Structure 1
Amino acid sequence: MPTSSQGPRQLKDRVVQSRIHHERDRFIASIHESDVCRLASSYHDGDSCTFFKPPTRGSYNICYFVQFCSAGTDVERWVVRVPLAPCLALGGRNKLESEIASMKLVAEKTTIPIPKIHAYALNSSSEPLSSFIILEYVEGQKLSYTQLKTLTDEQKTRLYTSLADIHLQLRRLEFPSIGRLTCGPDGFKVSRQATTIDINMQELEGLQPSKIQAFYSDSNSLLTSANDYVTMLLEIAYNAFVEGRSSVVEDRQGEDALYHLHIFRQYAEGWINRQLDQGPFVLVHGDLEPFNLIVDDDMNVISLLDWEWSRVVPRQFFKPPLWLKNPDTTKLAYNFVYQDYLQRFDQFLAILRIREREKYGNELLSDEWAEAKVDSGFLVANALENWTDMDWFAFRYINWKCYRGLSLDERVKSFMDDDPARGVLVARKLRQGVAYNVEVGELGIAGSLSDHNDIVEAVPSCKDGPTLGDSIMRHISHWGIRKGDISLFIPSLPTFALWSAAIIIAGTSYALKMGIPRFLCRR
């Protein structure tokens, strides 16, 4: 059996995820290793090959590792990479075609290190090996989040220099529209709608974000307005909330989520730089995470893998690595965590600025990112393409920046009262969530509750009204603190002490908010 090498993101609908995973496993089981060897040999003059390590399954591909040991020649190692069609809403061929186009362009126009393409096939057949790509095998180690915490200053400088060179070159690949690349007789062009990991997951869940994309695209499936791109992503997020079966599992959660989508939309509309509506539009990797970087012992990047989610985006969506300090973007929504990230980012930016002056004689990207980092601009772009991050960003950042964390209950109530249809929607979503959880329970699938249930919730109120404990615990939840997040504040203390500290702090804060005498007399 192949080992798993999955990324961190999962489908929100556990029922759909269970079905997709069963289909994926059947798909993999239908691939015979002897067929993989024959396929590889057919592109190596018929030479026989053997496997030198077990196959590895990722979220969207399975990789087989073969080697040729012809007499009198060096050992040559290849990776036969097969897209997992059940995990790809638009199919393996569609995904692979854009990936190959991006890799060819990057190889032709830049010095970014990527694996050499030996062969590929693009077919729509249901046969598992009908679409594939054969790449050179790159010796080295995949960068890990754990390694990032233990880098020496010299290793960090080398890694940041490699990352700077990658981003500087990608920034200078500009195009006239937004979308995915294809390669034809006339060269490279943008000719398909952009597909992100998030959009792929929504499509698999039956939410049909592609219909919203089609509405905003022209007759050639092209999008040439950055403003429209943002509006489209906001519509896709709202549609995911409305149509997603697992987006609401309790009443207050639905009201909060709907309100936070609303204030995120307002914030994002103010974030848009209207002067950049017609471009520039630039190429991004689409999944530039540590697990897609092959590094040597000195932390030089020697290969950037997995270009399957590469696409052309508006300039404001061309963002730096957000994992330099903390890989969880929902935690970056805390302003103090983001400020901590910026200290690491500024180190990276200083290296990038030097490299940009040396290579291009200007500071184009350096200046753009120095401006974009203000007011958590990077996180706005990230949330727009990862819709569940919108709620966290609004809850943890916008509530504090725009409202100082005050009067959340009153603001949510006023928002709901302004339009009775919102209450009807939340009630429908709650019924849908209850039915979803029943189905999950009947199928015996783990993970029926949404991530929001990790938010600290008040103990159910007694008929005489909320207790002091209710009020304090609800006050903690207004901070957007999840149970696992308390350690961000005081990481060296044990769990009991962390909760004690949190409750004391919250109680003091609540006392100041309510007034000391009233607080002490409250029952």
Structure 2
Amino acid sequence: MSETTQTYVGTAQQGLVINPKTLDMALNAGHAAKEARKKGANDKDDASELLNPWLFSEDKATVLGSEEERLLMQEELWCYLFHFTGAPRVRTCEINTSNINEAEVETLGSNAQEFPATEEQDTRVKNTFIESLDLDAICALALRYNDGKPCQVVDSKNGSFNACFFVRLGQYEPEWVVRVPIEPILGNPWDKVLSEVATIEYLERNTWIPVPYVHAYGRDAELTKNITGTQMFLIANVIRGEPLDKKLLIEAEEEHRRNFFSQLIDILAELRQLEFPLIGSLMLNPDGSPQPVLGPVISMKYMAHQFGLVSGFFSPPIFALRCMERIFEQVIDPQLDKGPFVLNHLDLRGPNIIVDKNLRIQGIVDWEFAHTVPRQVFTPPSWITGHDSIETNKQMHAEFRSVLDENSKANGFCELLGKEWYGQSADEKTKDQTDMAFCVVHVLRRPTDATEIFENFLAEKLLDKSFDDAVSEFFKQSQAAALEAQRRAEECERYREYLRENGLYETETDKLLAESKALKAKWGWE
């Protein structure tokens, strides 16, 4: 969209866009509300309408940074949100949810006090750290845990949060991966390392799920050329194979595809068997015992916490706030409010599923953000259910469910998953409840899709009029919402001015488009 047809609201990492039609309605209502207040009118709007007011995000392409950043796992995204919004941090939110309290839940979504770094600035910091890492030091670290045998760093890859170095032991293929957390962009990186180790070791002892073997971890390694201090690391086995390519999955032979679904379902069934009395991330036990520790929080408070974060991150229509809040609450059965809770991977996408050429699953990686969740939000991945707008394929979900039905005949936990995910009947009410749960879980996984999920899956069921008419009516009836819309529009303009003055762009894509536009203007290209 061009600058003349869109208006950004909020901070760089929020990447929010207001539909111009909606903005006009909001601004007009805002001016009217100001005049009414000057005349002494009372604002009778419910206070909840003023909390976290939302506008309409029209273009998905404008949301949170790069695709890598949009695929942040849930826990890391929550921590970013606390930083960007200026809200008080949950003391160890990305690892132990036990410290979430009611006061913190109620304050989530407060406004940012300053503009955050842009994607370009974050990338610069990230690259500076990665470029400072010394390959000789990486190899020396591997030697420390390899009885001094010869080794060589033969490849490297960088993810969103880690720099990965592949080490060859002897003359064969790489056997180890040395993973170094990119500390400048992470909150509590050491806790993440400890949590992943605890999770992997627990899975090794209690399931057959293929996970990488951890050889060593620590935070005492000197791995950089020019940065003082020590760095954290985790050394694990390399899992042979390639990350799952969804396009290849869709085009694969039916037999291979169904076998893949069967294996994935068995892995989910294994996770479903791991029940815990509390919600939280697994952490190594301080007493040295193999049983991990967790932080306590009841499931309804967990959902309130997550909903507060989603509402603080977005600006879809403000009227949708109440609707979606009720949906979040309905997903949790009060009878199951005290658990048990289920261990969940949280980012079970293609890059974290390693397969061979016949789509046989060789391993599941990246467990650093795994934690236990309410049973109702333990669902199939969104790219399978069809709620991921980027990776939707309806036939895939139908085939997945067909395989689940087959597996249920021989596996009691597969049968349990079928009942929990799809109910015991095929009536419309059950289908709606299933779809509602899948919608909520996808929003928790990818908050940037909240508006699109509401429009595509929920609006028709919840509204008795068109989407635009509902937005218009809401702003007319809510002075608080209209005033907040105007405030956000003004904040948006201040932010855009800040970018212009400093020669910054919200995303790398924005920068490339601007450079392309400048070149066309310089050379007179159409």
Tell me the TM-score normalised to structure 1 length: 0.68
Distance 1:42 1:149, change over 3 A: same
2:180 corresponds in structure 1 to: 82
Give aligned pairs, total: 391
Secondary structure of 1:257's match?
Answer: coil
- Shift, 1:178, TM fit: 0.7
Contact 1:93 1:124 in 2 (8 A): no
1:301 aligns with 2:361: yes
1:504 corresponds in structure 2 to: none
2:415 corresponds in structure 1 to: 363
Distance 1:268 1:436, change over 3 A: same
- Choose the corresponding residue for 1:291, options 333, 340, 351: 351
Secondary structure of 1:358's match?
Answer: coil
2:399 corresponds in structure 1 to: 347
Distance 1:361 1:272, change over 3 A: closer
Q: Deviations over 1:254-273 (max 9, x none)?
A: xx532233322233333332
Q: Distance in 2 between matches of 1:362 and 1:290?
A: 22
- Shift, 1:298, TM fit: 1.1
2:190 corresponds in structure 1 to: 93
- Shift, 1:147, TM fit: 1.3
Q: Deviations over 1:259-310 (max 9, x none)?
A: 2333222333333322221112000111110111111111110011111111
For structure 2, which runs of at least 5 residues remain unmatched after alignment?
1-65, 73-79, 85-115, 424-429, 511-526
1:261 aligns with 2:315: no
Q: Distance in 1 between matches of 2:248 and 2:413?
A: 33
Contact 1:99 1:308 in 2 (8 A): yes
1:282 aligns with 2:342: yes
Residue type of the partner of 2:167? V
2:242 corresponds in structure 1 to: 141
Q: Distance in 2 between matches of 1:31 and 1:448?
A: 26
Q: Distance in 2 between matches of 1:381 and 1:162?
A: 22
Q: Distance in 2 between matches of 1:105 and 1:443?
A: 49
- Choose the corresponding residue for 1:381, options 416, 432, 441: 441
Tell me the TM-score normalised to structure 2 length: 0.68
- Choose the corresponding residue for 1:20, options 122, 144, 164: 122
1:56 corresponds in structure 2 to: 157
Contact 2:162 2:181 in 1 (8 A): yes
Q: Deviations over 1:292-337 (max 9, x none)?
A: 11111111100111111111110111110221376x72468xxxx7
1:183 aligns with 2:284: yes
- Shift, 1:153, TM fit: 0.3
Secondary structure of 2:384's match?
Answer: coil
1:66 aligns with 2:189: no
Distance 1:7 1:384, change over 3 A: closer
Greater CA deviation, 96-105 or 22-31?
Answer: 22-31
Residue type of the partner of 2:137? D
Contact 1:93 1:123 in 2 (8 A): no
Q: Distance in 1 between matches of 2:237 and 2:508?
A: 42
Distance 1:402 1:122, change over 3 A: same
Distance 1:384 1:295, change over 3 A: closer
Q: Distance in 1 between matches of 2:249 and 2:173?
A: 32
Q: Distance in 1 between matches of 2:508 and 2:158?
A: 27
Q: Highest relative contact order (Cα 8 Å, sep 6+), 1 or 2?
A: 2
1:236 corresponds in structure 2 to: 309
Distance 1:157 1:375, change over 3 A: closer
1:503 corresponds in structure 2 to: none
> RMSD value over aligned CA atoms?
3.1
Residue type of the partner of 1:240? F
Q: Distance in 2 between matches of 1:259 and 1:5?
A: 28
Contact 1:230 1:384 in 2 (8 A): no
Contact 2:118 2:504 in 1 (8 A): no
1:432 corresponds in structure 2 to: 491
